[in-house]
């Protein structure tokens, strides 16, 4: 049985309004900021998040998607506070939640994205792969370094143990589940970045915020899960009747990836920006700066404008690519196919070399520089596995048992497979669309014995010059 709220609990979650700062957010309404959090917010390193668009280059296809990492971070801070306050109100005495636990969770929510680079996830996925050590770089690990730098640089007085827990909450991932589960009060690590189940307030905020910014509807209601969640066996569990609500969380996220984050035009622009940054890296040392917090915090989305307005001759090729983006002279999408599900586990990313090696003799001769390939993976957060299998459910608030639920016990309309891998091919020059499309079709025939694309590349696109 849960303990009803009492005076000790209210003392934990109550605040002195005289010391609070008030912000009105267009998603969550009134957000209140306590003095400790303002010490981090009022630093150049945190204010930098205003100059990082939450969805990177997506605003060039969805014009409303200009919201920033700054407002998302405030949103996650607020939801992290709401989540831990609800748990405290219902189970605070039972779980021995202390004021420092609440403070730590909220601070992790506030600072979880301070290590993001320009252009959202494109930076770590593509830009950082250009240099040595880039394949192990992650925004979560960079957030840890940035937090340490912010504390030192701005002389923020904070308990070292609290800071360590904040960093652990941010870097919690599926591969750390066993280690996390051994920590005292490990349920606290389920709130901001949930490595166990993937249900966390980071997703709650960006799903609603991104949907609204892009003008899309959002049927997922995180408030239902926030109200009904319960800590059992030292982890956050959910009522069995909320199974479909949780499925909608993962399905909505996957739909945003399909229709917004990996939109074919968005990917075309991203490919061009990566090429431009690759050509400009020797001048701006983008990759090497990303390993040093003292330099990294000076990197933001404005780097494109810096390249575009530079008078340096060595930046001409990079500038030309940015000019093409401004004039909507984008890499031309030729076609795509979905990798057969039986091939996904052993799928190896397709490269431009794979495409040009599939040219037929007698066609226009292509080089690797003429072709761009995007390998897109969309899943429900756990690859080919069903994420709901990692979640513990309970019957009602009278029960003390937890259990897992199989999909077919709920509905036969739920998916039987949980991951898509899509291969898209682009021509960097409009006059080569026909040749690239033909090579791509031949690649499919050689690899799968048949064309996997849904239809031929439209003739109109082939003729476009």
Mean pLDDT of 15-28: 90
Mean pLDDT of 275-295: 95
Can you name the CATH fold of 331-380+415-464?
A: Alpha-Beta Plaits (3.30.70)
Q: What span, in angstroms and rounded, lies between the C-alpha atoms of 387 and 365?
A: 45
Lowest mean pLDDT among 193-197, 202-206, 368-372: 193-197
Select the more confidently predicted residue: 137 or 17.
137
Please report, rounded to a whole number, the percentage of residues in the chain having pLDDT higher than 70.
96
User: What's residue 360's pLDDT?
Assistant: 85
Distance from chain centroid for Cα 357: 34
**Three-state secondary structure call for residue 32:** strand
Tokens 């490595």 locate to: 195
User: What's residue 132's pLDDT?
Assistant: 77
Query: What does the mean pLDDT of the chain come to?
Result: 93
Backbone angles phi, psi at 302, to 5 degrees: -70, -5
Residue 8 has pLDDT above 70, yes or no: no
CATH 3.30.70.2760 positions along the chain are 331-380+415-464
Mean pLDDT of 189-198: 94
Residue 464 has pLDDT above 80, yes or no: no
**Three-state secondary structure call for residue 287:** helix
**pLDDT range class, residue 275, cuts 50, 70, 90:** very high
User: What's residue 179's pLDDT?
Assistant: 75
**Three-state secondary structure call for residue 52:** coil
Select the more confidently predicted residue: 364 or 126.
126
Q: Is 412 a catalytic residue?
A: no
Can you name the CATH fold of 12-263?
A: Hypothetical protein af1432 (1.10.3210)
User: What's residue 285's pLDDT?
Assistant: 93
Select the more confidently predicted residue: 16 or 332.
332
What's the whole-model pTM score? 0.94
**pLDDT range class, residue 192, cuts 50, 70, 90:** very high
Q: What Rg value do the Cα atoms of the chain yield, rounded?
A: 24
Residue 2 has pLDDT above 60, yes or no: no
Residue 288 has pLDDT above 70, yes or no: yes
Residue 293: closest CA among 132, 72, 139, 70: 139
397-404 LR contacts (CB < 8 Å, sep 24+) = 397/1, 397/2, 397/230, 398/1, 400/232, 402/232, 402/233, 402/237, 403/240
Residue 90 has pLDDT above 70, yes or no: yes
The 10 Å CB-count burial string (b at 16+, else e) for 86-100 is: bbbbbbbbebebeee
Tokens of 323: 């000019």
User: What's residue 371's pLDDT?
Assistant: 97
**Active-site residue, from 67, 72, 116, 139:** 139
Please report, rounded to a whole number, the percentage of residues in the chain having pLDDT higher than 90.
84
Q: 308 to each of 53, 240, 273, 416, how far by Cα in Å?
A: 18, 54, 12, 47
CATH 1.10.3210.10 positions along the chain are 12-263
Tokens of 92: 């605070």
Over the stretch 222-254, which tens digit does the pLDDT of each residue have? Answer: 999 999 999 999 999 999 999 999 999 999 999
User: What's residue 238's pLDDT?
Assistant: 97
Residue 4 has pLDDT above 70, yes or no: no
Mean pLDDT of 198-220: 95
Over the stretch 402-458, which tens digit does the pLDDT of each residue have? Answer: 999 988 888 888 888 899 999 999 999 999 999 999 999 999 999 999 999 999 999
């Amino acid at each position: 049985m849960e303990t009803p709220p009492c005076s000790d609990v209210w003392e934990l979650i109550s605040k002195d309004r005289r010391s609070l700062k008030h912000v009105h957010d267009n998603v969550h309404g009134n957000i209140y900021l306590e003095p400790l959090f303002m010490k981090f917010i009022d630093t150049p390193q945190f204010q930098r998040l205003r100059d990082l668009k939450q969805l990177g280059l997506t605003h060039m296809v969805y014009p409303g998607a200009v919201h920033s990492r700054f407002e998302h971070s405030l949103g996650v801070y607020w939801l992290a506070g709401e989540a831990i306050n609800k748990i405290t109100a219902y189970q605070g005495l039972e779980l021995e939640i202390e004021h420092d636990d609440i403070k730590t969770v909220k601070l992790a929510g506030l600072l979880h994205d301070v290590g993001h680079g320009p252009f959202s996830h494109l930076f770590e996925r593509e830009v950082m792969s250009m240099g040595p050590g880039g394949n192990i770089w992650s925004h979560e690990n960079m957030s840890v370094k940035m937090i340490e730098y912010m504390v030192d640089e701005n002389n923020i007085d904070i308990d070292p143990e609290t800071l360590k827990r904040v960093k652990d909450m941010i870097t919690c991932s599926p591969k750390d589940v066993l280690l996390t589960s051994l920590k005292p009060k490990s349920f606290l690590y389920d709130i901001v970045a949930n490595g166990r189940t993937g249900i966390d307030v980071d997703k709650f905020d960006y799903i609603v915020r991104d949907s609204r910014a892009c003008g899309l509807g959002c049927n997922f209601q995180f408030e239902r899960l926030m109200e009904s969640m319960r800590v059992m066996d030292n982890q956050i569990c959910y009522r069995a009747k909320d199974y479909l609500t949780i499925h909608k969380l993962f399905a909505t996220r996957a739909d945003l990836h399909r229709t917004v984050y990996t939109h074919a035009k968005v990917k075309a622009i991203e490919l061009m920006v990566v090429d431009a940054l690759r050509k400009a890296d020797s001048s701006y040392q983008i990759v090497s700066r990303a390993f040093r917090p003292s330099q990294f915090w000076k990197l933001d989305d404005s780097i494109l404008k810096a390249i575009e307005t530079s008078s340096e001759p060595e930046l001409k090729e990079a500038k030309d690519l940015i000019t093409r983006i401004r004039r909507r002279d984008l890499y031309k999408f030729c076609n795509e196919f979905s990798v057969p599900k039986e091939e996904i586990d052993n799928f190896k990313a397709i490269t431009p070399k794979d495409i040009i090696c599939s040219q037929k003799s007698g066609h226009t001769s292509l080089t690797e520089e003429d072709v761009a390939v995007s390998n897109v993976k969309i899943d429900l957060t756990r690859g080919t596995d069903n994420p709901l299998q990692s979640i513990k459910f309970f019957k009602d608030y009278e029960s003390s048992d937890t259990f897992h639920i199989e999909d077919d016990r709920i509905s036969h309309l739920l998916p039987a497979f949980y991951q898509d891998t899509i291969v898209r091919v682009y021509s960097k020059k409009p006059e080569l669309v026909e040749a690239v499309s033909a090579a791509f079709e031949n690649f499919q025939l050689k690899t799968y014995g048949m064309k996997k694309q849904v239809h031929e590349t439209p003739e109109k696109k082939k003729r476009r010059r």
